[in-house]
Amino acid sequence: MTSTTALPKTMKSLLQASRKTTEVILVEAPIPTPTHPDDVLVRVHATAPCAGELLWAVNFPDSIPADKVMVPCQDLSGTVVTAPAASDFAPGDRVYCRIEAGRAGAARDYALARASELAKIPSSLNWIEAAATPLSALTAWQSLFVQGTLDAAGIKGDAAAREKNGKIRVLVTGAAGGVGSWVVQLAARSGAKAVVAVCGPGKEEAVRKLGATEIVDYTKTSIEEWVAADPAAREVDLVIEMVGGKTLSGCWAAVKEGGAMVTINTPPEYGKPEGMKKELSKALFFIVEPLGSNLAEIGDLIEAGYVRPTVDSVWEFADYAKAFERLESGHAKGKIIIKVSDEAAAA
């Protein structure tokens, strides 16, 4: 730990007005004090909201403790101010992370993250790009390589992993969004046989650049219609689904008998069409784990030039309401970033 005497007494902070509303307000608040042995105090430079996060307290009350200080935006890039002596971090380190959803977020000048959540920022990322990475990249990584059936070793060229991945056709919905843009890149880089990107109009070129091999514009063709045109060639072995509703139902048509479906918006069984007999080897919903160790692996891939974060737009702190509006439009092309410090503004 180092001294915090040079810190101001208060800071600017966003706050969800209450657990029951999606209204966000700007307040002056005290600097948070480390209370957990693994707490790292970080000077925040940039942060990023996550789709739907202002409804978590209502929709997932068990995951958001009643005493959570309702600071939104769980992703950050920043500089370490104080860190436990036994941790891998020291004052001045450039770090990024996802703060677990049950604790106060990072839309403020200073935030507390656990050492286990943090990783050092790859030198090729600025503060904005770094803040665009943690949640989306971690979710994509875990959905493909931890919950899903692709082998991450394929990214670094492991022959056995690439042979295995080379037999797996992957379909991803929301493919141009925050998480989807990482799923496309990681699946393609790992040597998947095909990466089918489901996205809206105007996104085709972007997802092709990320590595998509087939595109379904859901505003022109439903997933069911697309697969029905040539099931033998088009059915997929692994679905990563993040939209829910009709999109999730369509994915049941696209996945092969015995294939796998990983969802992060709605549990797979909620979208299984009535009467459908298809059995999958895996059909699961999961919540991302904010693991700094995974983020460090992703950082190595960024440094090697294999993958990059995608930034939709960057907003001044004072314009936070516009950033949330853009997010809630549901059609972001990558992550929406809010600048917190002047250093991020210079990035």
Ligand X SMILES: NC(=O)c1ccc[n+]([C@@H]2O[C@H](COP(=O)([O-])OP(=O)(O)OC[C@H]3O[C@@H](n4cnc5c(N)ncnc54)[C@H](OP(=O)(O)O)[C@@H]3O)[C@@H](O)[C@H]2O)c1
Nearest position to ligand X, beta carbon: 177
CA dist., res. 55 & res. 48, Å (int): 16
Contact call for residue 52 and ligand X (CB under 6 A): yes
Tokens 């790992």 belong to: 190
Contact call for residue 121 and ligand X (CB under 6 A): no
Return the structure tokens found at 4: 């915090």
Binding mask 236-275 for ligand X (x = CB under 6 A): ------xx---x----------------xx----------
CA dist., res. 163 & res. 180, Å (int): 24
For residues 32 and 309, which CB has a smaller minimum distance to ligand X in the complex? 309
For residue 86, the minimal CB distance to ligand X (Å) is 29
Please list the residues that pair with 113 across neighbouring strands. 40
Applying CB under 6 A, the span of 39-47, 83-91, 185-193, 197-205 interacting with ligand X comes to 197-205
Applying CB under 6 A, the span of 31-39, 50-58, 63-71, 233-241 interacting with ligand X comes to 50-58
For residues 125 and 216, which CB has a smaller minimum distance to ligand X in the complex? 216
Closest CA to 108 of 338, 263, 265, 295: 338
Among 198, 255, 338, 340, binds ligand X (CB under 6 A): 198
CA dist., res. 242 & res. 250, Å (int): 12
Among 69, 276, 287, 304, binds ligand X (CB under 6 A): 287
For residues 139 and 165, which CB has a smaller minimum distance to ligand X in the complex? 139
Contact call for residue 180 and ligand X (CB under 6 A): yes
Q: Which residues between 217 and 236 bind ligand X (CB under 6 A)?
A: 218
Contact call for residue 323 and ligand X (CB under 6 A): no
* Helical pair 292-303 and 134-141, crossing angle rounded to 10 deg: 100
Element (H, E) at 198: strand 194-199
For residues 151 and 312, which CB has a smaller minimum distance to ligand X in the complex? 312
Contact call for residue 114 and ligand X (CB under 6 A): no
**How many C-beta neighbours within 10 Å does residue 280 have?**
17
* Helical pair 178-189 and 134-141, crossing angle rounded to 10 deg: 50
Applying CB under 6 A, the span of 5-13, 19-27, 46-54, 57-65 interacting with ligand X comes to 46-54
CA dist., res. 257 & res. 188, Å (int): 23
DSSP secondary structure letter of residue 334: B
Determine contact, residues 67/32, Cβ cutoff 8 Å: no
Among 113, 199, 212, 298, binds ligand X (CB under 6 A): 199
For residues 73 and 176, which CB has a smaller minimum distance to ligand X in the complex? 176
Residue 66 half-sphere exposure toward CB, CA atoms < 13 A:
0
Q: Which residues bind to ligand X, rule: CB under 6 A?
A: 50-52, 135-136, 139, 173-174, 176-180, 198-200, 203, 218, 242-243, 247, 264-265, 287-288, 330-332
